[in-house]
Structure 1
Amino acid sequence: MNSEEEFFDAETGLESDDSCEVSFKDATQENGVWERRKKLPAEMISRNNFSVWNILKKCIGMELSKIAMPVVFNEPLSFLQRISEYMEHTHLIHKACSLSDSIDRMQVVAAFAVSAVASQWERTGKPFNPLLGETYELTREDEGYRLISEQVSHHPPISAFHAESLKKEFEFHGSIYPKLKFWGKSVEAEPKGTMTLELLKHKEAYTWTNPMCCVHNIILGKLWIEQYGTVEIVNHRTGDKCVLNFKPCGMFGKELHKVEGHIQDKSKKKRRVMYGKWTECMYSVDPKVYEAYKKSEKKSGGESKKLRQERSCEAEEADEMPEVQETVTVIPGSALLWRITSRPAHSAQMYNFTSFAITLNELEPGMERLLSPTDCRLRPDIRAMESGDIDLASSEKERLEEKQRAARRERSKDEEEWSTRWFQMGTNPHTGAEDWLYTGGYFDRNFTDCPNIY
């Protein structure tokens, strides 16, 4: 599958070793073929009559995970479902598995790491905080993988996930501890946690951490998002490393969305240069070609000072989003590694969801008996918000949070520790650091010990 293909195409189904294996398809039938849905049950709820400032004004510089936010500022997905969006461009993993050269594999893995944050572009709604013990499973037979995630800790909030190829070609796993801070006009998110991608055929493991994310104009002006920071991807078998710099907006907005970096081998020789935008595409090029291009560009003078000043993203009232060039300037001789999948025309009315994200909370009739009772799709507050009932979503969110607090009080009274179901704390064999690792068994579908959290 190439990056231009859409992810809601109909499935025909594949054979599986699991007798209870389930395909997630929308309950819409056209010409006898099941298709995933292409829109949400209701359009996005308006936030015009709500002020986030009234909630956040006392929280400047604080970590926000313990701050209760009105449901209207959410999007109708759990953070566990948001994590599964890393898998939207799984075709890149399949591509990496098929390549014989380690540098070629690294550049495709690096493109996958960039693509994993691409769905966050213009997604200014906050995902629902998962309840302790909440899970989400996603099986995509058309893309050849299945995923399970679990909320393994509430304070601090930690989400663990594990995705695996149906043909045993790869495993992709990690745990995320998102730290959110409010800085007056913006909210900064630090996605602490390590991503690990294992290409089983090549006996390779790649690890990296995601970049920082900042949502601007929380109080005033149009919301906009930037990703920034250095991402290092390490191939633990070969010693190859890719260093990617997600560039911050900067004073004149020239660097907004840009990603630049290079791949070096174990002797630290630069082998490829990578460039592009995390909102759009990534290319790679030979380092000598890149340097020659930059020298010729420098001689030509580049942009005038006056033009740079006109593009300044400084403003007195709000951090205005600078104008964004729609395309990346392609250096002759470059290879396209990845291009973002176009969003549906009605995306702005659907919380700026991608076609892939629109499908994540769909629930086919009869699916309840196959899902774990802790699955996000069964959360009544998310289901109500998806259907446009903000009052029911708010009351259900409060009920679930109080039920969670009551359960915690009961455990405290009995001096009982919370026990995770599908993940256990262990040691990442590639980094040596503590990590939440999948213990297996979820797809046997024995859910008798799952907690009643809804």
Structure 2
Amino acid sequence: MSSNDKKQKSKVVDYKKQQNDKKTTADHMNGNVVVRQRRTRIPDKPHHSLSLWGILKNCIGRDLTKIAMPVHFNEPISFLQRNAEDFEYSDLLDKAAKCNDICEQFAYVMVFSSTAFSTCSDRVAKPFNPLLGETYEFDRSDDMKWKLISEQVSHHPPIFAQHVESKNGWKAYQQLQIETRFRGKHISAISNGYFRIDFENTGATYTFNRPNFDVYNIIFGKMYVDIVGEVHFTGHNAANGYKATLNYIPQTFFSKQPQRIIRGKIQDIQNNVRLVVNGHWNEFITIARVNAIYHENKTEKYDTDEPVEIWRKRLPPPESQYYYHFTTFTCQLNEPEDGVAPTDSRLRPDQRLMEEGRWDESNHEKVRLEEIQRDRRKQNDDVVPLYFEKQPEEFCDTYVWKYIGNYWENKANQDWKDSPKLW
């Protein structure tokens, strides 16, 4: 056995010991609520090599979501779980829910939207594509005061819908379709999405889209992700007439300026710029109130108060580079849990096998599941979504997939008779 293999085996043993030790640790009380003891890491990534170019060279210009890829290029979570990561910094929405000032509340929403990408600078692996009808719940009512349910509602094109309810005075909904294409030198991911957040205290609603992102150095060098594009935010109800934009500035390696920059502004009903947002989407973000506007070299400039930092990325766990650069929060997304729906991503066998380091078995399972899904389509026996349905949306000129209830009631009764058999 090589020294690397011995090191890998030792780390797997250490991980299993940690999980066994954790099982003996009692959950603790937070008031009258039992706070669940959750895991803090997953097994290390095995050492496997495979030529990405050998697979991608025939995929130039094609949508990668329709191409079978080995798990070597995945991370052991699904897209449903990856988008639950959007709420790692949900404390920003908790703070927004306490704001009476629309501009300040709007700023927290803008900053929250950017934190979804805070780990992208380190993570280039692709999540698993969910199967049609696959679901994912994440109940953090005990510690973070929110619970989430997601479902894959369409396969071609791949679309997922998500609904989040918080005890801290806000609700969130999103629908997202990502189209990925290999451009020869990089991979582009185009986000076609709709995000909505409602607040009880102000009665305000905010909607926004998602930026795109590109993955570079696919063939040579160290791969990295760049978030690009302009995100448009619109206020509704009590925030009607307010709007904002947030620009993700493309990286330029010939420049000596800092990278991964975001710049944004919030405008009131009279189109006056009231607040500006600045920072780096992978490090920190500040907001500042605008006192005056002037122009310099045909560029709009702002005289502002002293900027206030309202978000800073938490440092990753010390050995996270060994397990896919996951944060502690991310490690908890795929933690086994009793009582979830039989369609839950945590029960998906190929994904679980990959997390355990059994990649050959995972690849076999992945192929098997994809074949089952293709056979269903050929037989016109596609899965019908259970918890979301298309409904008109009051703030956009289209239909969106909205949560229709029943999931948490079904879980309470362990009534899964309508759940399809996906694996």
Cα displacement string for residues 118-150 of structure 1 (whole angstroms, at most 9, x for unaligned residues):
232311111000011000000002111000000
Q: Does 1:342 align with 2:315?
A: yes
Report the count of equivalent residues: 382
Counterpart in the other structure of 2:33: none
Please give the alpha-carbon distance, in whole angstroms, between the structure 2 residues aligned to 1:144 and 1:216: 38
2:406 to 408, 433, 441: 441
Whether the aligned pair in 2 keeps the contact of 1:174 and 1:435 (CA below 8 Å) is no
Whether the aligned pair in 2 keeps the contact of 1:226 and 1:256 (CA below 8 Å) is no
Matches for 1:296-375 after TM superposition, within 5 Å: 333-364=306-337, 367=338, 370-375=339-344
Cα displacement string for residues 73-103 of structure 1 (whole angstroms, at most 9, x for unaligned residues):
1000011000100110111111011011101
Counterpart in the other structure of 1:307: none
The one-letter code sitting in structure 1 at the alignment partner of 2:341 is S
Whether the aligned pair in 1 keeps the contact of 2:393 and 2:400 (CA below 8 Å) is yes
Counterpart in the other structure of 2:5: none
Counterpart in the other structure of 2:176: 176
Task: Give the direction of change, closer, same or farther, for the CA distance of 1:28–1:181 in structure 2 (3 Å limit).
Answer: same
Task: Give the direction of change, closer, same or farther, for the CA distance of 1:280–1:290 in structure 2 (3 Å limit).
Answer: farther
Q: Secondary structure at the match of 1:120?
A: coil
Counterpart in the other structure of 1:309: none
Please give the alpha-carbon distance, in whole angstroms, between the structure 1 residues aligned to 2:219 and 2:421: 38
Counterpart in the other structure of 2:45: 44
State the TM-score, normalizing by the size of structure 2. Answer: 0.86
1:277 CA drift (Å) = 0.5
Q: Secondary structure at the match of 1:287?
A: strand
1:257 CA drift (Å) = 0.7
Please give the alpha-carbon distance, in whole angstroms, between the structure 1 residues aligned to 2:258 and 2:150: 34
Please give the alpha-carbon distance, in whole angstroms, between the structure 2 residues aligned to 1:452 and 1:418: 9
Please give the alpha-carbon distance, in whole angstroms, between the structure 2 residues aligned to 1:204 and 1:28: 43
Cα displacement string for residues 21-59 of structure 1 (whole angstroms, at most 9, x for unaligned residues):
xxxxx963336655211110x211334x21111111122
Cα displacement string for residues 355-405 of structure 1 (whole angstroms, at most 9, x for unaligned residues):
1101100114xx0xx110000000111110101111111111111111111
1:258 to 253, 256, 261: 261
State the TM-score, normalizing by the size of structure 1. Answer: 0.80
Q: Secondary structure at the match of 1:68?
A: coil
Task: Give the direction of change, closer, same or farther, for the CA distance of 1:362–1:100 in structure 2 (3 Å limit).
Answer: same
The one-letter code sitting in structure 2 at the alignment partner of 1:144 is K
Structure with bigger RCO (C-alpha 8 Å, 6+ apart):
1
Please give the alpha-carbon distance, in whole angstroms, between the structure 2 residues aligned to 1:276 and 1:172: 24
Whether the aligned pair in 1 keeps the contact of 2:235 and 2:242 (CA below 8 Å) is yes
Greater CA drift, 382-391 or 432-441:
432-441
The one-letter code sitting in structure 2 at the alignment partner of 1:346 is E
The structure with the largest strand share of the pair is 2
Q: Secondary structure at the match of 1:437?
A: strand
Matches for 1:130-145 after TM superposition, within 5 Å: 130-141=130-141, 142-145=143-146
Q: Does 1:122 align with 2:87?
A: no
Whether the aligned pair in 2 keeps the contact of 1:424 and 1:437 (CA below 8 Å) is yes
1:290 CA drift (Å) = 8.8
The one-letter code sitting in structure 2 at the alignment partner of 1:209 is N
Q: Secondary structure at the match of 2:361?
A: helix
Cα displacement string for residues 334-368 of structure 1 (whole angstroms, at most 9, x for unaligned residues):
1112111211011111101111101100114xx0x
Task: Give the direction of change, closer, same or farther, for the CA distance of 1:60–1:201 in structure 2 (3 Å limit).
Answer: same
Whether the aligned pair in 1 keeps the contact of 2:289 and 2:305 (CA below 8 Å) is no
The one-letter code sitting in structure 2 at the alignment partner of 1:35 is Q
The one-letter code sitting in structure 1 at the alignment partner of 2:25 is E
Which stretches in structure 1 are left out of the alignment for 5+ residues? Answer: 1-25, 296-330
Counterpart in the other structure of 1:316: none
Whether the aligned pair in 1 keeps the contact of 2:76 and 2:351 (CA below 8 Å) is yes
Task: Give the direction of change, closer, same or farther, for the CA distance of 1:258–1:390 in structure 2 (3 Å limit).
Answer: same
Q: Does 1:58 align with 2:58?
A: yes
Q: Secondary structure at the match of 2:110?
A: helix
Counterpart in the other structure of 2:72: 72
Q: Does 1:150 align with 2:115?
A: no
Counterpart in the other structure of 2:377: 408
Please give the alpha-carbon distance, in whole angstroms, between the structure 2 residues aligned to 1:79 and 1:417: 20
Please give the alpha-carbon distance, in whole angstroms, between the structure 2 residues aligned to 1:233 and 1:119: 22
State, as a whole percentage, how many aligned pairs show the same letter.
Answer: 37
Task: Give the direction of change, closer, same or farther, for the CA distance of 1:107–1:374 in structure 2 (3 Å limit).
Answer: same
Counterpart in the other structure of 2:272: 269
